[in-house]
A and B are shown apart, each in its own frame.
Chain A
Amino acid sequence: MKRFINDFKKHYKYSIYSAKSELKSEIANSHLSWLWWILDPLLFMLVYTFISVIVFRTSEPYFPVFVFIGLSSWKFFEKTVKQSVKLVSANSAIVSKVYLPKHILIFVKMYANGFKMAVSYVLVAIMMAIYRVPLSLNIVYIIPIFVTLIMFTFGVSTIMLHFGVFVEDLSNVINVLLKLVFYMSGIFYSISNRVKEPYGSILLNFNPVALFLNDLRLSMIYCEAPHRKLLLMWFLVSCAMSAIGIRIIYKYENSYVKVM
C-alpha cells in the first residue's frame, strides 16, 4: 500500500502528461479535432435513440438524457478495460527501457478516458437543462457512484492487465464479454421497467455496471436515492479487486518484459 502511494506520487506528473499527449495525438490528425469528443457520444446517442424509439417503440422519460448517461459511463468502463488487456504489449517500447509500475499505464488510460467522460457529462448537463429535468438533492449521490465506478474499472483493469500479458487471445474473449455486458447493462433500455422479474433484479444485483448506470439515472433524472447498500458492497468488492490486482502486478511485473 505504501509502495503504491509512493509510486503514485512519483509518477503522477508523468501519467497526467502522458494522458494529455495521448488525447492530443488522438485528435492531431483529424479535421474536426476536439469536436470528436462531443460528436462521438452525441452521434451514438442518436443511433441508440433511433433504434429504441423508432424501431422498438420503447421509451423512457427524458430518453436522450437517459441514453446519454448510460453511454458516457459505459464508454469509460469499456475503453479502459479493453485497453488494459493489451496495455503492456502496446507500451513495450517503454516497458522494456525503464522501470515503470505497470498500473501507472492504467492511470494514463483512465485519465484520458475520464476526460472524455467528463466532456460528455457536460453535454448531459446541457441536455438536462434543455429537457428541463427536475433536480433534487439526490443528485449529490452521483459522487459516490462515480467513485465506485472508477474503483471498479480500475480493479477490473489491473487484473486484465496481468492476464493480458500472458494470454494472447484474451482480448477476443474480453471483446465478446464486454459486448454481452453492454446489452445486459441497460444502456438504451431501462432494466427495471423492461426486464421481467426476477431477471431484472438479478441483472441489477449482479451486474455492477447495470447498477451504476441505473443509480446514476435515479439520482440525476428521477430524483430518487440510489441503492446505497448495494453500491457500498460493490465499492468494497472493487477495493478488494484493486488490492489483489496491484499485488499481482507488483509480484509479476518483472516477468512481463521477459514474455514480450
Chain B
Amino acid sequence: MENNIVIDVKDLKIRYRSLNKISVRKSLLSLRKSKIDIYEAVRGITFQVPKGEIMGIVGKNGSGKSTLLRAIAGVFSPDEGEINLHGNSVSLLSIGVGFQKRLTGRENIYLSGMLLGFSEEAINQKLDEIIEFSELGNFIDKPVRTYSSGMYSKLAFSITAILETEIILIDEVLSVGDSKFKKKSYKKMQQLITNEDRTVIIVSHNNDTLNKLCNSILWLHEGKIKMQGKPKEVLEAYEEFMS
C-alpha cells in the first residue's frame, strides 16, 4: 500500500511575504527593513494521493488552490511542511503555458517538452501524436503569435496530455477550445483515468466536470482542508455552502 502513494503532502504551509517590487529610491530611503506583510495562502494541509487517482480540488477564489498546485509542481518550495513526489515527474498545465510567441508551434513543443525534462528523442516520438491531437494542421509551422487563444490552449493541452508525465496538474483548462475539442479532451482525461499509472489533480470551478472525471475531491477553504472524500458528497456540501 505504501508504494502506491505518489503525492505525499505533509502539513504544508506557504506564505506570501509581500515582497513587492521596490524602486531604488525607496530602498535607499528605507534602509531599515520595513515591516513585512505576511499572507499565508496555504495553512497546514496534509493529504496523500494514491497512484492512478484523479483528484479534483474545489474552493472559492483565493482559497489557495493554485498555490497548492504550483507548490506540487515545484515552482516554489514550501515554507513549512513537505511535499514528497517519490521521484515522479510532474507537469503543470494551466491557461497560457509559456510559449515563445515568435517561434512556431513545432519548436515550442520541443521547448516545452525539454522544460518538462524529456529528451529530444522522446519528443520526436510523440511529435506527430501531439500535432494530430492539437488539431492545428498547417498552423503548427506558423509562429505562435498568429494563433487564436483557442489554438493556443489546445496546443498547451496536447503537449501535456500526450507527453506522459506521471503526475499531471491541471489548472482550469478543461474548458478550452470548441465543443468538439472539449469532448475530445474529456475523452482523453477519461483515458487517463483508465491508465492506472497516471495521477491527475484538477482544479476547476465546473462541478459537472469534476463529478464525471474525479475519484475524489478535496475542498479547500481559506488555505485549509474543509472536506475530502467522494465527489458526490463533497460537491453537494460545497454547492450548498456556496449558495
Contacts from A to B (Cβ < 8 Å)? 10, 13-14, 17-18, 21-22, 24-25, 28-29, 91-100, 165-170, 173, 254-255, 257-259
Contact = CB atoms under 8 A, between A and B. Distances in A.
29 contacts: A13-B119, A14-B115, A17-B114, A21-B100, A25-B100, A28-B103, A29-B102, A91-B98, A92-B98, A93-B96, A93-B97, A93-B99, A94-B98, A95-B98, A97-B75, A98-B73, A166-B22, A167-B21, A167-B23, A167-B27, A168-B21, A169-B25, A170-B24, A254-B75, A255-B19, A255-B76, A257-B76, A258-B76, A259-B19
Contacts, number: 92
Q: Which bracket fits the contact residues of B? A: 35 or more
Nearest to A92: B98
A22 B108 CA distance: 11
A25 B16 CA distance: 36
A72 B98 CA distance: 32
Nearest to A252: B19
Contact of A21 (B70, B76, B98, B111): B111
Given A17-B111, A21-B103, A98-B91, A169 B23 contact: yes
B40 to A, nearest CB: 12
A99 B111 contact: no
B128 to A, nearest CB: 19
Interface string B53-89: 0000000000000000010011111000000000000
B102 A99 contact: no
B94 interface: yes
A258 B111 CA distance: 24
Contact of B74 (A29, A99, A169): A99
B17 interface: yes
Nearest to B14: A258
B148 interface: no
Interface in B82-137: 91-92, 94, 96-100, 102-103, 107, 110-111, 114-117, 119-120
Nearest to A170: B24
A166 B77 CA distance: 18
Q: Which 4 A-B pairs have the closest CB atoms?
A: A93-B98, A99-B74, A25-B102, A94-B98
Contact of A28 (B20, B115, B143): B143
Contacts of A29: 102
B19 A13 contact: no
